[in-house]
């Protein structure tokens, strides 16, 4: 990487880190682009080289943070050497939920403005070369499963919606039960969703 590229990466990382810090402490609505650039120590023009507005940086941050989380989960999955598509999905689900339970600020940030469209974009458009393209990982897992799936994107959508909303309520509010009490209910439901999408 050349010096110019390195400088660009440093500025972009500063903007991302500063935005995340401000969005999680002050909230998106109370954070201005001026706040971001002032704290990051860059010119306003530099911000607009990388991002359209604060909603764009928010979406890209969701992409980046989600990608890091899934990359950690996928690395842990490979180290655990878990076989079987369903067990691998359950492992990733447990890993992500445990990480979010340990970092409620990240959960609040990712989940509050998360829609399927943003999430899908987040997982399929890596922000940097360090990020994982989860769509590619998912496709590879599907291929290695030995099964044929009907509507695999719908299957993933249902799992993410279920795990995301149920996990959020459990982690943030212990409602209706704690995360540990919820997991034994989530796992068979996720298994059932997957089974319903396997072509017999």
What is the per-residue pLDDT for 136? 81
What is the per-residue pLDDT for 131? 63
pTM exceeds 0.85: no
Q: Where are the domains of the chain?
A: 1-51, 55-197
Segments of the chain with pLDDT less than 50: none
Mean of the per-residue pLDDT values of the chain? 87
pLDDT in tens, 140-182: 999 999 999 999 999 998 998 899 889 999 999 999 999 999 9
CATH level 2 (architecture), domain 1-51: Orthogonal Bundle (1.10)
Q: Is 81 left (phi over 0), alpha (psi -120 to 50) or beta?
A: left
């Amino acid at each position: 990487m050349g010096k110019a590229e390195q400088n660009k990466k440093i500025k972009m990382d500063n903007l991302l880190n500063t935005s995340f810090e401000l969005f999680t402490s002050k909230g998106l609505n109370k954070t201005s682009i001026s706040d971001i650039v002032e704290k990051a120590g860059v010119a306003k023009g530099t911000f607009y080289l990388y991002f359209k507005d604060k909603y764009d940086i928010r979406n890209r941050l969701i992409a980046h943070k989600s990608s890091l989380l899934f990359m950690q989960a996928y690395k842990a999955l490979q180290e655990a050497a878990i076989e079987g598509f369903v067990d691998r999905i359950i492992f990733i689900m447990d890993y992500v939920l445990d990480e979010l339970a340990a970092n409620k600020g990240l959960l609040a940030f990712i989940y509050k403005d998360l829609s399927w469209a943003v999430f899908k974009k987040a997982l399929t458009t890596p922000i940097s070369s360090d990020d994982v393209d989860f769509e590619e990982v998912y496709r590879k897992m599907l291929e290695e499963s030995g099964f044929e799936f009907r509507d695999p994107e719908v299957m993933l959508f249902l799992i993410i919606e279920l795990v995301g909303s149920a996990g959020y309520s459990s982690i943030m509010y212990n409602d209706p039960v704690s995360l540990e009490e919820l997991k034994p209910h989530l796992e068979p439901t996720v298994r059932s969703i997957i089974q319903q999408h396997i072509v017999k």
